[in-house]
Structure 1
Amino acid sequence: MRLTLARRYRGLAMTTSLGLVVALALTASSAPRPVQESLATNSPTGPMEIPDEWMTAQRMSDGSRDLSVAKYAKARGEAHDLNLRTRLLNRDLAQREWNFFGPSNIGGRVVDIAVDPQVPDQIFIAAASGGVWKSDDAGATFETAWPDDGTHSMGAVAMTSDGVLFAGTGEAQPGGGSITFGGDGIYRSKDRGKTWRHVGLKDSHAIGRFAIDPSNEDRIFAAASGNLFVPGGQRGVYLSENGGNSWTQVLAPPNATTGATEVVIDPSNPRRMYAAMWDHLREPHQRTYGGLGSSLWRSDDAGRTWSRMTNGLPTDADQGRWGIAVAPDNPQRLYAYVGTALGPFRAFYRSDDGGDSWTQTPVTAGQASQSTFSWWFGKLFVDPGNSDHVFLTGVNLMRSTNGAQSFSSVSGVHADQHAMRWDPKVPGRVYLGNDGGLYRSEANGASGWVKATYEPYTQFYTVDVAQTDPVLKVGGAQDNGCNRGYNGVGGAWNAIGCGDGLQVVIHPEFPNIVFGCSQYGSCYRSENSGGSPRQSIGTGQTTSERRNWLTPLQFDPSDPNVMYYAGNILNRSTDNGRTWTPISPDLTGGGPNDPNGYPWGTITTVAAAPTDGNKLYVGTDDGRLWWTDDLGQNWQQVDPGQLPGTWVTRVAVNPADKNIAYATFSAFRSGSDRSHVMMTRDGGRTWSNIGQGLPDAPVNFVVPTADGLLLVGTDVGVFMSAWNGGEWAALGTNLPQAAVMYLRYHEPSRQLTAATFGRGVFDLTVPRCPAASTKLPLKQTGVGVIGVLASCRAG
């Protein structure tokens, strides 16, 4: 039997063999897949209100079809080698420490939870792009249980009764860090997270769940979701019969784009088990999150053979992600739900005979609370002591007390639910993981939710530092709004509005004036450190047809009353953000044909020269660079043949010379010689590659210092060179391997602040490097980069 996957928009037909002969056949195999989503949702809240699309769009802006784990593994290896080389050249530079600044009270996405069966009050959690964390006080505070230099993208955790811990890397829901950062398989710890060993499935890309056989804990099942971007690889349900030492596929997917997201064992009969399969594929300009492969399966012989459950369940192609759960106190009771291929909730089902037959319950899309992206959640949880008490994940936490005949919302928790676990040692205690972190209820989940007080795994997009005092910081966090950290190192951060927190900036002279932005350029101006009252900045005050998910909002370094805001048109304010005037035409290649689609054709970065406010540089998501010498009266485009043609993440101007500027780029292909950092010395007319020697990974930020150094933040760390680049050194030690999305350098104190996507905000004092202070090209002075590094000292 063969399946043909019809690809609208690209005209590509791809045929794959059915990987498993089972008692069930996909009888409609000749039918086309449902119409795919052309990078659009019809959500009333705006186009593509899914944060991962911004990160993914950057990294695939060259039309690349693959963000494979292998690319990131190679890049991390290159970063490791560069770190070793730096230690040889300059021990002081290499051993300079990054210090965690915060926040610890905000949290971030928690995708799974494991309750320690032996140690009271001890749990382990998987943070989406922050690794594994341990709490020994019932989820109040957490400490890392994962190596800083390991893969930080997580999908699942589980623990045996004797304390062996398993971690599955890579998120199974294609959103946020997961869609950008896949995993490299399964790890095992026999000492509760102190040390880890990789034990297999390195090509699984994402692990959705573990199930441990209660009758023989050497038998461990893993749901492997597969590479979101490339069909094939390690997908389906895998079994280890030797405690994780080796793995064998026991349920193969019905086609090359389907993977397993759930595997559940009947606690009263371990020979019976269930699995959920999900057919999904992400391409550069479309996503297909459903199809014929999406289905539910059952095994009655401990996972050796499987049959698809169909009696009462849909068998057409309009099936997205499934969630399934078994009631522990009545394992004949099963619950399941499914979304449509395009994302909205489709239906909820219940079985009272172990999956032999299913009945659709009256649950509506409104009760499901899953908006247009049911695939972001994909989980169900049943009270171990009451089979009628069911929780459904969604934007809100939904609860039923009548066996899923109806659901109501549970209050008191952050949005976007992902994991629940009951503590068998403490009656009524249940833990919840969502985009806001970890919560605990002692009332069986019905009420009384208490948030963790120390959970330092926030996913930051941006950070800014007050020029008057570098201890004062603000930042924008994924699904956790704009935040203010004005209480010092380790102090509490305060929410200051926004939905997803994106660009947040502090006035250079008055730190009480703060600007904060939500997605797509919905910004405000506050004279109360981000608090109310707030003046709106956005579609009603600025001129643009399209605005990026992270809309640039920047001060002019030569005049603190001048600001820039950019959609597809650059806007300028001369009264500190109160009023705005457009100063450019559309600087992009134009937007998408679909008005509800992802807003391609936007400005992504703006830089004004510190020495001349009339000199501006602009970069776009479609790989264009522009400059003007007369404040926008005339714009000049850089010859596209000089550039990589990919998403421009940042432009920065040399603090001493308006004609020297740097541009960084995000998209990458492993092994290519494409530049990630480019430099102009003639005001933008010609550009050269100065990124040789950097790891082949997206570069997200660049900062030139006044004394001749160049600092860049990448998906695999922070690196340093002289102004001319060409040879690079790793900067500092003990910075976790979460992507560095943003840098802010405070010149007077030499403090460099890094915003990581999964481990919060870190600071480091940049060394002084006398050999770098020359303004001439290094080749002309005879001072090589090795000489620069050798001159770097703590002074």
Structure 2
Amino acid sequence: MLGLLATVALAASSSPPPTAPSLATNLPTGPMELPDEWMTAQRMSDGSTDLSVAKYVNARGAANQLAARTRSVYRPLAERNWSFFGPHNIGGRVVDIAVDPQVPDQVFIAAASGGVWKSSDAGATFTPAWPDGWGQAIGAVAMTSDGVLFAGTGEAQPGGGSITFGGDGVYRSTDRGASWHRVGLADSHAIGRFAIDPSNEDRIFAAASGNLFVPGGERGVYLTEDGGDSWQQVLAPPNDTTGATEVLIDPSNPDRVYAAMWDHLREPHQRTYGGPGSSLWRSDDGGQNWQRMTTGLPTDADQGRWGLALAPNNPQRLYAYVGTALGPFRAFYRSDDGGDTWTQQPISANQASQSTFSWWFGKIFVDPGNANHLFLMGVNLMRSTNGAQSFSSVGGVHADQHSMRWDPKVPGRVYLGNDGGFYRSQNNGASGWVKSTDERYTQFYTVDVAQTDPSLKVGGTQDNGCNRGYNGPGGPWNAIGCGDGLQTLIHPENPNIVFGCSQYGACYRSETAGGTPRQNIGTGQTTSQRRNWLTPLQFDPNDPNVMYYAGNIVNRSTDNGRTWTAISPDLTGGGPNDPSGYPWGTITTIAAAPTDGNTLYVGTDDGKLWWTRDLGGSWHEVDPAQLPGTWVTRVAVNPNDANIAYATFSGFRSGSDRAHVMMTRDGGHTWTDIGRGLPDAPVNSVIPTADGLLLVGTDVGVFLSGWNGGEWAALGADLPQAAVMYLRYHEPSRQLTAATFGRGIYDLTVPRCPAASTRLPLKDPGVGLVGTLSSCRAG
């Protein structure tokens, strides 16, 4: 029988169902998991405790207003076109799949921070099916038998960075992704799954995961009975930090519905990825009343994320697994009576598949034609042919699995989504996986462009290593090592010399354009006690043999990265402020002056700025009272004057006068805010051009001003709304390259505005765009 520890009922009125009582106290907590916390930590370095969708909605609104004004006043800037450079063959995290029941070979996918995509050739190639100008974080997709497509925004996996960019509800398309309309759950933050009632497809359940940072909001299981026009909560979570990650309908008895709940909360310096709210539930009356399933299942608080699946050809067969609150795999279960009772299964292979972060996966998929044939999502793709008695690893696919779907129109065809993109098997998932050849939703951290030829590029990506794009726009990219790919560099004079870095500054030097052999540099060759997830590695623009690498100490090389010497003390606040939290106390950015190789500027994750005029003989800290105190994302030095430098900052203003872009005109002694007028969003990159322009990349677009700031304009109008993590400017060709976190690499030619020149009166704080871009005005 069902272990009835809590029951919730849908009242006759429209009021929400009551909340079940908490089942335990003492919530296990664990350290922040990376890389997600790297992105999260810098955006919360303003002291905020959440990354609300509202902040991004407001920032995008301000960006849209700025773009509209640019179209009116500086039309040549707005009309500049961003062109997709690549890659098309690398891919990125795919978290859900919907197979079109009517159109042969047509599938839709949810890219974690890259929108919804459509394929009409069984996943070989994909085209966008989501507006470029909307937020790109997607968690779930589903399609009715008559072709109505639903998308749930915001990703339910709190990792890989995309949780930073939460969602704003459920969207519906009646024309297969050509147009969309939001239909509710605007405060759900993330949607984990949809379930469509096969007997009445106007009845659709949605698993709302909730805001990871703020308790409350729209959480639990919601039901629409009018095709999405309205939604009502039918299963309230046991507490206000629990959300639904899974919802399933018994195809033989649509009144029977199952759900998985997950109790999780992230705070600035710790995560709670389990607790008493984590649980499995069943309804036998179409979602009106629910009972928690407990017979044979754990009931203590040390429960992390649950995965739950049923066998379509034998819905009495259920499978479930759960992790611990700290992340390791805990147990795998099977039920043969529709969830009345559960039996624990062998766990050795399952445990290995989940590594220490079972919360990253949370999915099981069962062959529609064989209840004993199932797949467990994990680091590896795990397959069982004996009803979960044993599992084996399926090779031939990228790591970290998230979604599978069988194509009912083609026997044996299975689709798979993972951190590397989209795959198809014609052998029922047992073997023969083929990767998509065109999937343009790669998450980039950095990009570099060869000075000798701007069509040669390298970039560092989340989950997909370092990559080389030496085959021109639209050409294939090649993997060139790294774990997660972070800083990447091309030698200014020799594009065969390439540097690539994995997380925490594990870098290499290659003289074969990123190929082997590779000389390791970083932790064994440089001096530092702590290194940032994205450890800065930069050339000195005065001499390509001089390079800088920084952990918490600046290191300098005079032989092109072969050997290193420390040239600074610890330039940070002295180390982690919480041993179990993000490892604060690292240098995040360093820049040498193009006109004076003895002048360096440095920024840190704890909000400090430093400068030296004697190549590290003496270091000077900028008065903290002048600075916003948030994570310094980038420093850059004016190409014509070593006394003029810029620093950009993450975080939000949150009602304060906190700066996002600052400038010094006196070599670092004093700094002023020149970012007024920009949208209130993290600024990730800054570049001053030789002819008086200032370019910045932000979480909500690319913007342009004069060297002294002042008025800002939007640059181009067609860049997808994925965060711009890194900019690289090629001065001879005026090509600006943007690395986006979810939509790949884009190029744009920056217009010449003759009035913006090196002859500007730079000491005049009133000089900004006004008067410097007169030739870029409309008309």
| TM-score (norm. length: structure 1) | 0.94
Provide the residue aligned with 1:615 in structure 2: 599
2:500 is paired with a residue of what secondary structure?
Answer: strand
Would you say the 8 A contact 1:345–1:365 is kept in 2?
A: no
Provide the residue aligned with 2:4 in structure 1: none
Alpha-carbon distance in structure 1 between the residues aligned to 2:685 and 2:247: 40
Alignment of 1:19-34 (within 5 A): 21=18, 26-28=22-24, 31-34=25-28
1:335 to 299, 302, 319: 319
* C-alpha displacement of 1:443: 0.4
Residue 626 to residue 251, structure 1, CA distance change in 2 (3 Å): same
Alpha-carbon distance in structure 1 between the residues aligned to 2:212 and 2:75: 41
1:343 is paired with a residue of what secondary structure?
Answer: coil
Would you say the 8 A contact 1:210–1:221 is kept in 2?
A: yes
Residue 538 to residue 774, structure 1, CA distance change in 2 (3 Å): closer
Provide the residue aligned with 2:191 in structure 1: 207
Alpha-carbon distance in structure 2 between the residues aligned to 1:789 and 1:269: 67
1:572 is paired with a residue of what secondary structure?
Answer: strand
Percent identity of the aligned residues? 82
Provide the residue aligned with 1:665 in structure 2: 649
1:93 is paired with a residue of what secondary structure?
Answer: helix
Provide the residue aligned with 1:624 in structure 2: 608
Would you say the 8 A contact 1:368–1:392 is kept in 2?
A: no
Q: How far does the alpha carbon of each residue in 1:258-310 deviate from its partner, in whole angstroms, 9 at most, with x for none?
A: 00000000010000010000000011111000000000000000011111001
Alpha-carbon distance in structure 1 between the residues aligned to 2:481 and 2:162: 25
Provide the residue aligned with 2:30 in structure 1: 37
Provide the residue aligned with 1:124 in structure 2: 108
Deviates more, 1:580-589 or 1:783-792: 783-792
Would you say the 8 A contact 1:724–1:777 is kept in 2?
A: no
2:575 to 582, 585, 591: 591
Would you say the 8 A contact 1:367–1:408 is kept in 2?
A: no
Q: How far does the alpha carbon of each residue in 1:664-693 deviate from its partner, in whole angstroms, 9 at most, with x for none?
A: 001114443211000000000100000000
Would you say the 8 A contact 2:75–2:777 is kept in 1?
A: no
Alpha-carbon distance in structure 2 between the residues aligned to 1:467 and 1:461: 20
* C-alpha displacement of 1:332: 0.2
1:333 is paired with a residue of what secondary structure?
Answer: strand
Q: CA RMSD in A?
A: 1.5
Provide the residue aligned with 2:81 in structure 1: 97
* C-alpha displacement of 1:154: 0.5
Alpha-carbon distance in structure 2 between the residues aligned to 1:27 and 1:497: 47
1:291 to 269, 275, 281: 275
Would you say the 8 A contact 1:368–1:407 is kept in 2?
A: no
1:349 aligns with 2:333: yes
Alignment of 1:439-588 (within 5 A): 439-588=423-572
2:233 to 207, 231, 249: 249
Would you say the 8 A contact 1:201–1:234 is kept in 2?
A: yes
Q: How far does the alpha carbon of each residue in 1:4-54 deviate from its partner, in whole angstroms, 9 at most, with x for none?
A: xxxxxxxxxxxxxxx8547x75443xx3222x1143xxxxxxxx4x32111
1:374 aligns with 2:367: no
Provide the residue aligned with 1:414 in structure 2: 398
Residue 108 to residue 656, structure 1, CA distance change in 2 (3 Å): same
* C-alpha displacement of 1:119: 0.1
Residue 781 to residue 496, structure 1, CA distance change in 2 (3 Å): closer
Alpha-carbon distance in structure 2 between the residues aligned to 1:514 and 1:323: 42
| Residue identity opposite 2:318 in structure 1 | L
1:727 to 711, 726, 729: 711
Alpha-carbon distance in structure 1 between the residues aligned to 2:577 and 2:699: 31
Alpha-carbon distance in structure 1 between the residues aligned to 2:37 and 2:161: 10
| Residue identity opposite 1:620 in structure 2 | T
* C-alpha displacement of 1:638: 0.2
* C-alpha displacement of 1:775: 4.3
Consecutive unaligned residues of structure 1, counting only runs of 5 or more, are 1-18, 40-47
Would you say the 8 A contact 1:414–1:436 is kept in 2?
A: yes
Provide the residue aligned with 1:689 in structure 2: 673
Alignment of 1:294-309 (within 5 A): 294-309=278-293
* C-alpha displacement of 1:316: 0.5
Q: Number of aligned pairs? A: 764
Would you say the 8 A contact 2:681–2:700 is kept in 1?
A: yes
* C-alpha displacement of 1:365: 6.1
* C-alpha displacement of 1:793: 8.1
Residue 182 to residue 594, structure 1, CA distance change in 2 (3 Å): closer
2:247 is paired with a residue of what secondary structure?
Answer: strand
Consecutive unaligned residues of structure 2, counting only runs of 5 or more, are 1-15
Residue 486 to residue 793, structure 1, CA distance change in 2 (3 Å): farther
1:648 aligns with 2:632: yes
* C-alpha displacement of 1:776: 3.8
| Residue identity opposite 1:663 in structure 2 | A
Alpha-carbon distance in structure 2 between the residues aligned to 1:230 and 1:594: 21
Would you say the 8 A contact 2:349–2:392 is kept in 1?
A: no
1:108 aligns with 2:106: no
1:560 is paired with a residue of what secondary structure?
Answer: strand
* C-alpha displacement of 1:510: 0.4
Residue 775 to residue 370, structure 1, CA distance change in 2 (3 Å): farther
Alpha-carbon distance in structure 2 between the residues aligned to 1:400 and 1:25: 37
Deviates more, 1:597-606 or 1:227-236: 597-606
Would you say the 8 A contact 1:690–1:724 is kept in 2?
A: yes
| Residue identity opposite 1:324 in structure 2 | L
Alpha-carbon distance in structure 2 between the residues aligned to 1:538 and 1:650: 20
1:193 aligns with 2:190: no
Provide the residue aligned with 2:421 in structure 1: 437
Provide the residue aligned with 1:767 in structure 2: 751
Residue 407 to residue 669, structure 1, CA distance change in 2 (3 Å): farther
Alpha-carbon distance in structure 2 between the residues aligned to 1:594 and 1:77: 36
Alpha-carbon distance in structure 2 between the residues aligned to 1:694 and 1:21: 44
Provide the residue aligned with 2:69 in structure 1: 85
Provide the residue aligned with 1:219 in structure 2: 203
| Residue identity opposite 1:707 in structure 2 | D
2:316 is paired with a residue of what secondary structure?
Answer: coil
Provide the residue aligned with 1:5 in structure 2: none
* C-alpha displacement of 1:538: 1.4
1:67 aligns with 2:60: no
* C-alpha displacement of 1:771: 1.9
Alignment of 1:379-390 (within 5 A): 379-390=363-374
| Residue identity opposite 2:66 in structure 1 | L
Alpha-carbon distance in structure 1 between the residues aligned to 2:249 and 2:765: 69
Residue 366 to residue 273, structure 1, CA distance change in 2 (3 Å): closer
Alignment of 1:229-248 (within 5 A): 229-248=213-232
Alpha-carbon distance in structure 2 between the residues aligned to 1:320 and 1:109: 22
Alpha-carbon distance in structure 2 between the residues aligned to 1:788 and 1:126: 43
* C-alpha displacement of 1:769: 1.3
Provide the residue aligned with 2:158 in structure 1: 174
Deviates more, 1:356-365 or 1:538-547: 356-365
* C-alpha displacement of 1:312: 0.6
| Residue identity opposite 2:680 in structure 1 | D
Residue 260 to residue 596, structure 1, CA distance change in 2 (3 Å): closer
Would you say the 8 A contact 1:172–1:178 is kept in 2?
A: no
Residue 630 to residue 402, structure 1, CA distance change in 2 (3 Å): same
Alpha-carbon distance in structure 1 between the residues aligned to 2:601 and 2:550: 12
Would you say the 8 A contact 1:463–1:475 is kept in 2?
A: yes
1:272 aligns with 2:272: no
Residue 578 to residue 366, structure 1, CA distance change in 2 (3 Å): farther
Provide the residue aligned with 1:145 in structure 2: 129
2:519 is paired with a residue of what secondary structure?
Answer: strand
Alpha-carbon distance in structure 1 between the residues aligned to 2:187 and 2:579: 37
Provide the residue aligned with 1:135 in structure 2: 119
Provide the residue aligned with 1:45 in structure 2: none
Q: How far does the alpha carbon of each residue in 1:131-175 deviate from its partner, in whole angstroms, 9 at most, with x for none?
A: 000000000000000101011000000000000000000000101
| Residue identity opposite 1:37 in structure 2 | G
Alpha-carbon distance in structure 1 between the residues aligned to 2:675 and 2:110: 34
Would you say the 8 A contact 1:89–1:789 is kept in 2?
A: no
| Residue identity opposite 1:411 in structure 2 | G
Q: How far does the alpha carbon of each residue in 1:708-750 deviate from its partner, in whole angstroms, 9 at most, with x for none?
A: 0000000000000000002100001210000000000000000
Provide the residue aligned with 1:15 in structure 2: none
* C-alpha displacement of 1:204: 0.4
Residue 215 to residue 774, structure 1, CA distance change in 2 (3 Å): same
Provide the residue aligned with 1:740 in structure 2: 724
| Residue identity opposite 2:217 in structure 1 | G
Alpha-carbon distance in structure 2 between the residues aligned to 1:747 and 1:604: 24
Provide the residue aligned with 2:389 in structure 1: 405
